[in-house]
C-alpha cells in the first residue's frame, strides 16, 4: 500500500471508527484499525463484533493494498501529526507501515489483514430512509432514559418502532420513560427492534451535517445498519420483548402546570446541589398558589429552597422525584415553556414541551416520609 491523503480527513475517519475498537478481547486483530486502499479511496474499519464502523475518505492511491494497524497507537499518532498531508507506505518484507507527515516519520507493525472480520453491507429487503436531523432528535430525546444495568439488557437499549408513516423511539429504565414520534415518507415496511443505547449515542455523535442528509437504515432479525455520507455502522440488536410502554402512560391528569423552561431548569439544578436522602437524590416540589416550590434536604450539609412562578390548572400537588431524572429531561429538550402534568404524589407524572405533542417523558415519583 502506498497512499497520500489529507491529514484532517484521515484524523476524522480515525475518530469515526475508533469507537468500535475492542478494548478487552482475546483476539488482538480486533484492537486494530483495518485500512484498504483502492481506486482513489481509503477505507477504514473497526469492529468488536457488537458494533462495526466503516468510513471512506479520498486519497491518492499510488499502490493499492490493505493492512491492520494498532488502533491505540494509530489514532494517537494521526492526532499529533504535523502538516496538512500524510503518506502511508506499507512493506511486505518488514511487515510495517511507514507514516510520514512533514518532518515526522513513524513505523508501525502491521497486523495480518486476512484475519480481520471485514464489514459487509447487510443483505436485507427491509430498509427505510430517514433524515439525519429527524433520527438525531429521536435519539437525543430518548436515549438518556436507557438503563445502564447490564443485568437487564432489554432496558439498556431503545425501542425503534416503524409503522405506516410514523417512527417511534422509546427508552426506559423502569423508573422513567421517554417517547418520541415523528412522521416518515414512503415507508413500505413495519418493524420494531431494540438498539443498544451505546450505539445510538455514538450514531448521534456522528450525525453532524448542517444540511439534512438521508440515512439509510437496514434491518435484519438480529442486526441493524445505518449508512450516510461515507460512514457505515452495523450493530447487533438486543433480543427480547420490550414492555408495552403505552400501559405506563397515564390516560389523563388532574393538574397541569406551565413552567418557564430555563428558570425551572436553573432552579432544579441549584436545589439539586443539596439533594441527598438515603439512596436517592431527592427533590420535593409543591405545586400551589401560582408557583412551584422546589426543596431539598441533606442532613449532613443543609437545605435548599427556590420558587418558580407557574401557570397552574387543577389541584395542588406535593410530590418528590429523583433529582437526576428531572435534570436529565431538562437538558434534552429545547423549548421556552414546559408542561408538567400530575395526578397524585405517588402517581407517574409527565414532562414535555408545551408546544410539542410528539414527545413525552413519564417519570415515577419517590415515596417520602
- The CA-to-CA distance between both ends of the chain, in Å, stands at 70
Q: What residues contact residue 352 under an 8 Å CB cut-off, 6+ apart?
A: 333, 338, 339, 359, 360, 361
Region 79-100: what's the mean pLDDT? 94
Shared domain for 153 and 174, answered yes or no, is: yes
- The span from the CA of 299 to the CA of 88, in Å, is 62
Domain that holds residue 235: 127-246
CB atoms within 10 A of CB 50: 13
Domain boundary among 195, 219, 246: 246
pLDDT at 93: 87
Domain boundary among 89, 115, 141: 115
Shared domain for 241 and 262, answered yes or no, is: no
Shared domain for 167 and 224, answered yes or no, is: yes
Confidence check: pLDDT of 348 > 80: yes
Confidence check: pLDDT of 87 > 90: yes
- The span from the CA of 291 to the CA of 312, in Å, is 8
> Is 213 contained in some domain?
yes
pLDDT at 113: 94
Nearest to 367 by CA among 251, 282, 305: 282
> Is 161 contained in some domain?
yes
Shared domain for 236 and 261, answered yes or no, is: no
> Is 120 contained in some domain?
no
Residues 289-317 have pLDDT tens digits of 999 999 998 888 889 999 999 999 999 99
pLDDT at 212: 87
| CATH code, domain with 352 | 3.10.150.10
At residue 186 the predicted structure's pLDDT band, cuts being 50, 70 and 90, is: low
Shared domain for 163 and 70, answered yes or no, is: no
pLDDT at 209: 79
pLDDT at 308: 97
Nearest to 282 by CA among 181, 179, 368: 368
Shared domain for 146 and 177, answered yes or no, is: yes
- The span from the CA of 250 to the CA of 266, in Å, is 28
Shared domain for 32 and 96, answered yes or no, is: yes
> Is 121 contained in some domain?
no
Shared domain for 295 and 236, answered yes or no, is: no
Shared domain for 163 and 262, answered yes or no, is: no
Domain boundary among 92, 115, 138: 115
Q: What is the mean pLDDT of the chain?
A: 93
Residues 227-253 have pLDDT tens digits of 999 999 999 999 999 999 999 999 999
Q: What residues contact residue 208 under an 8 Å CB cut-off, 6+ apart?
A: none
pTM of the predicted protein model: 0.91
Q: Phi/psi zone of residue 332: left (φ > 0), alpha (ψ -120 to 50 degrees), beta?
A: alpha
Q: What residues contact residue 143 under an 8 Å CB cut-off, 6+ apart?
A: 158, 171, 197, 200, 201, 204
> Is 105 contained in some domain?
yes
Shared domain for 107 and 208, answered yes or no, is: no
Residues 111-156 have pLDDT tens digits of 999 999 999 999 888 888 899 999 999 999 999 999 999 889 999 9
Cell of 339: 408542561
Instruction: Give exposure, 207-219, as e/b (b: 16+ Cβ within 10 Å).
Output: beeeeeeebebbb
pLDDT at 312: 96
Count of domains for the chain: 3
Torsion sign over Cα 126, 132, 137, 139? positive
Share of the chain above pLDDT 90, in %: 83
Exposed/middle/buried for residue 363 (C-beta within 10 Å: 0-12, 13-18, 19+): buried
Cell of 211: 444540511
> Is 368 contained in some domain?
no
Least confident of 189-193, 217-221, 275-279, 281-285: 275-279
Shared domain for 144 and 188, answered yes or no, is: yes
Shared domain for 190 and 216, answered yes or no, is: yes
pLDDT at 277: 59
Amino acid at each position: 500500500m502506498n497512499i497520500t491523503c489529507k491529514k484532517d480527513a484521515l484524523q476524522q475517519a480515525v475518530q469515526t471508527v475508533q469507537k468500535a475498537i475492542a478494548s478487552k478481547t482475546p483476539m488482538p486483530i480486533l484492537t486494530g484499525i483495518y485500512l484498504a486502499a483502492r481506486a482513489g479511496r481509503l477505507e477504514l474499519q473497526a469492529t468488536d463484533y457488537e458494533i462495526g464502523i466503516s468510513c471512506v475518505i479520498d486519497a491518492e492511491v499510488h499502490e493499492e493494498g490493505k493492512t491492520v494497524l494498532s488502533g491505540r497507537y494509530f489514532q494517537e499518532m494521526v492526532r499529533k501529526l504535523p502538516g496538512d498531508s500524510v503518506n502511508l507506505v506499507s512493506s511486505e518484507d518488514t511487515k510495517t507501515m511507514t507514516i510520514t507527515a512533514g518532518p515526522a516519520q513513524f513505523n508501525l507493525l502491521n497486523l495480518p489483514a486476512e484475519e480481520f472480520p471485514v464489514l459487509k453491507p447487510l443483505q436485507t429487503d427491509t430498509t427505510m430512509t430517514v433524515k439525519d436531523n429527524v433520527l438525531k432528535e429521536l435519539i437525543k430525546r430518548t436515549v438518556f432514559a436507557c438503563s445502564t444495568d447490564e443485568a437487564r439488557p432489554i432496558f439498556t437499549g431503545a425501542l425503534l418502532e416503524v409503522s405506516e408513516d410514523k417512527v417511534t423511539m422509546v427508552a426506559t429504565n423502569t423508573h422513567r420513560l421517554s417517547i418520541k414520534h415523528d412522521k416518515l415518507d414512503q415507508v413500505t415496511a413495519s418493524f420494531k427492534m431494540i438498539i443498544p443505547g451505546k450505539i445510538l449515542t455514538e450514531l448521534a455523535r456522528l450525525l453532524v451535517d448542517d444540511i439534512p442528509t438521508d440515512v439509510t437504515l437496514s434491518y435484519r432479525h438480529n442486526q441493524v445498519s445505518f449508512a450516510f455520507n461515507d460512514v457505515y455502522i452495523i450493530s447487533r440488536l438486543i433480543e427480547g420483548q420490550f414492555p408495552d410502554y403505552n400501559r405506563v402512560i397515564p390516560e389523563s391528569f388532574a393538574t397541569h402546570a406551565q413552567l418557564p423552561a430555563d428558570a425551572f431548569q436553573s432552579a432544579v439544578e441549584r436545589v439539586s446541589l443539596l439533594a441527598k436522602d438515603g439512596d436517592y437524590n431527592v427533590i420535593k416540589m409543591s405545586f400551589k398558589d401560582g408557583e412551584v416550590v422546589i426543596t431539598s434536604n441533606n442532613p449532613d450539609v443543609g437545605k435548599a429552597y427556590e420558587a418558580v412562578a407557574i401557570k397552574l390548572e387543577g389541584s395542588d400537588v406535593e410530590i418528590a422525584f429523583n433529582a437526576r431524572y428531572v435534570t436529565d429531561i431538562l437538558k434534552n429538550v429545547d423549548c421556552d415553556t414546559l408542561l408538567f402534568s400530575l395526578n397524585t404524589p405517588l402517581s407517574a407524572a409527565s414532562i414535555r414541551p408545551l408546544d410539542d405533542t410528539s414527545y413525552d417523558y413519564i417519570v415515577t415519583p419517590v415515596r417520602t416520609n
